[in-house]
Structure formats: structure tokens, C-alpha cells
Structure 1
Amino acid sequence: MNVVVSILYLFIGVIIGYVFTVKSKPAPSQNTNKVEDDKTPKKCSKKDFPHFDAKMVLVARKDVKMDRSQIGAECGRATLETYHSASEIRPKLLHQWRTIAQAKIVCSAFSEQELLELYNAANADELPTGIVYSSDPTNSAQKIPTVIGIFGRNDEVNKITGKLKLFN
């Protein structure tokens, strides 16, 4: 008897869960594919933007002693910083990049001076940028720039980072 009652309760729970799931789905007449702040569809494809070409380039320093996991973490932080900057400066281009390609490239810089020159050049061209500071391995109280991010159209970003070597 106890088993029959348990099975009955389980069956009733499944039916109730199914009914609530079906009722919570939006009606087909409602348009849920629009972003509220602009009219760009959420699901985009390359055919919607045939001339789309944007990317994010991350530039990491090779002269700072960091292992691969630290570099990965710093690149992740730089990606977020650059993403937030792009959401304020170029939200439509960021939306297209996010829904189509999300191209990210990691390049090398060999000094703090080179990294800051690239960062300043990107800011002078009004490109969205992000910079990550980490503790200096020799002096933990001092923060040093380790990774920058630059976002924009390919030609704009290549003008600044086109001669850099890929990080390996």
C-alpha cells in the first residue's frame, strides 16, 4: 500500500511540474528575440552582418615571471575589463561580436613600456580597453601592469597590435 501511494504522489508531481512548465513558456505571438535597449536581434548570424569584423586582442607581458595558469587568469580579468569598457563605448559592436564570433587573440609584449605604449595608443584612438595590474613578484606591495585588452574592428585593432607576435 505504501509503495502505491508513493508512486501516485510521484506521478501527480510529474504532471503538476509538466503543467507549470508548459504554462510558463511565452506565447508564440510574444516577441522575445529583441533586446530592450536596441533593436538588434539576440540570435545573429554572419549573414545578418556580412561585413562584420571585430575582435579582442589581449597583450600579455613575457618579461614577468608568471606560469600559464596565472597568465590565463590575468587574461580572463583583462577580457572582463575590456568587455565592460566596450559595453559603455561601443555597445552595438560588442553585441554583434558577442553573438557571432567572440574572436579573442593573445599576443606578447616584452616590457612594461611596450605594454603601456599599446594601451595609450588604443586609448588615443578611443578604442575600448582594459588593463590588469598584478603584484610584482619581487615587491608584493607594488602593482605592475601584466595584461591589456583592446577591442574594436579588425582594422582599428590591427593598426595598434598588428606587428605583435602571438603568445606561446
Structure 2
Amino acid sequence: MSSGNAGSDNPGSGAGQLLFQPNEEAVAQIMSLGFSRNAAIRALFYTGNQTADQAADWLLENNDKNLDTPLETDLQGTSDSSDEDEFLTTDTFKMVFVVNMELQMGVGKVAAQVAHAALSLFRSMMEDEVKAEMIMAWGHLGETKVVVRGDSTTQLEMLAVQAAGLQVDHYLVQDAGLTQVTPGSKTVLAVFGKVDDVNRVTGSLKLL
């Protein structure tokens, strides 16, 4: 697959671009999938410069955008914005969903539970002005979402406690039990925050 023209691989060398040093190993991995270097750099920037897998997921979600626009254009575009917009580009955020694999839910059930977790955490955060700004920043930077595997209910509960201890926003879904699982089953844990903070909770888990 390809997301851009070969002639757009150079992401530019403006002041904003120089502040971001991409993970070159991840860049090479993403380019091996058929994406341009510029697209790879943009994806790594908007997913916290972590892994090729997370960046590739972001590219697939945002493939309708012009991925060959140099990253420096985005950064320059925010330099003349209001104070509120300046906040939106200060940090990168992501939302991670930990699915309880112990429950052996079907694909549709997992999708429904992830959606439940996302909406519940979103609504909860929007009730707080500061947290709502974090959500706005997340939306401004592509709404990075990652789904990972959780081994058991016990693990999800432990991760929720860990998130609380780190003051990382989270929501643990307890299902009504109308289909597939027993009432009160803990199906999905949603965790949201700055990329580095979320990785401290879920960074060791494998993608679903």
C-alpha cells in the first residue's frame, strides 16, 4: 500500500521539525509497509514517537488526510494561534483499551465494549475543564487509539489501580451481562493521558 508520492519523502528542515527527532528504526519499519518517510515521521510525532505498530495504526486511521504534508507545516500553523490552541500542541495523548481476553468475547462484543469504555471515559473527562482540554488536544492530534490484550479480570483490576496511583484517567467497564458474559464482568479498561504516562500502565501489553 502507499500513502503518498515518492517525491515527498523529505519532511523538511524547519525549526519545528528540528525539535522532533523520530525513532529511525520505527521510521524504517513503517516505510517497509509502503508509506513515505514523511508519513512515517508524522505518524510517530502524533503517537508519541513510540513504536512502528502504533504509528502504523494511526496512519491507517488517518489515511484520508494528506500524509505528505511536512510536519513543520502543522507546527508552524499552530505558532500563530491563540493561547488555547497553543495548549493543544504541548503534549501528545492517546487512549488505550485493554480487552479482558479471559472472557473469550466475540469480535462484535469486543467492539461494543471498547466503544462503551471510550464513551464513558470521554464523558467523564468532559465534565472537568482541564481534562476536557486534554481531550481537545487528543482530537486535534489525530485521536490515537490502541487496543491491547489483557490476560484476566485480575490484571485489568491491577492496571486500574496502577492508573489511579499515577493519576492517569481510566474507566473499567462492568458489563450488564445481557449477552456472552455474566453480569458484572469487567470487560475493557480504557486508559487515557499523555503518551508516556499511559505507557507506564499499558506499555508492556501486546496489541490485540
Under TM normalisation by the shorter chain, which class is it? 0.5 to 0.7
AA at the equivalent of 1:154: V
More deviation in 51-60 or 157-166?
A: 51-60
Query: Contact conserved, 1:86 with 1:129, CA < 8 A, in 2?
Result: no
Matched, 1:132 2:173: yes
Gap change, CA 1:92 and 1:138, over 3 Å in 2: closer
Tell me what 1:40 maps to. Answer: 84
Question: What is the percentage of aligned positions where both structures have the same residue?
Answer: 24
Return the letter of the residue paired with 2:103: V
Matched residue, 1:86: 125
Partner deviation per Cα, 1:64-105 (whole Å, 9 max, x = no partner): 021101100000000011112322261211111112210000
From the two aligned structures, give the one with the greater helix fraction. Answer: 2
Task: Give the number of equivalent residue pairs.
Answer: 123
Task: Pick the aligned partner of 2:148 from 96, 104, 107.
Answer: 107
* Structure 2 unaligned regions, length at least 5: 1-81
Question: Are the aligned partners of 1:81 and 1:131 in contact in 2 as well (CA < 8 Å)?
Answer: no
Aligned equivalent of 1:65: 104
Superposed CA RMSD: 2.4
Structure whose alpha-carbon radius of gyration is higher: 1
Task: Describe the SS at the equivalent of 2:185.
Answer: strand
- Determine whether 1:121 maps to 2:162: yes
CA contact 2:168–2:193 (8 Å) conserved in 1: yes
Q: TM-score, normalised by structure 1?
A: 0.66
- The yes-or-no answer on 1:165 pairing with 2:189 is no
Letter in 2 for 1:86: M
C-alpha distance in 2 between matches for 1:138 and 1:83: 25
- Which structure has more relative contact order (CA 8 Å, sep 6+)? It is 1
Q: Return the alpha-carbon distance in structure 2 between the equivalents of residues 162 and 131 of structure 1.
A: 18
Query: Paired residue for 2:188?
Result: 147
Per the TM alignment, residue 39 of structure 1 is displaced from its structure 2 partner at its CA by 6.0
Deviations 1:106-154 (A, max 9, x none): 01111110010011111121221112112287874x3110001000000
Q: Runs of 5+ in structure 1 lacking a partner? A: 1-37
Distance 1:113 1:95, change over 3 A: same
**Code of the aligned partner of 1:108:** R
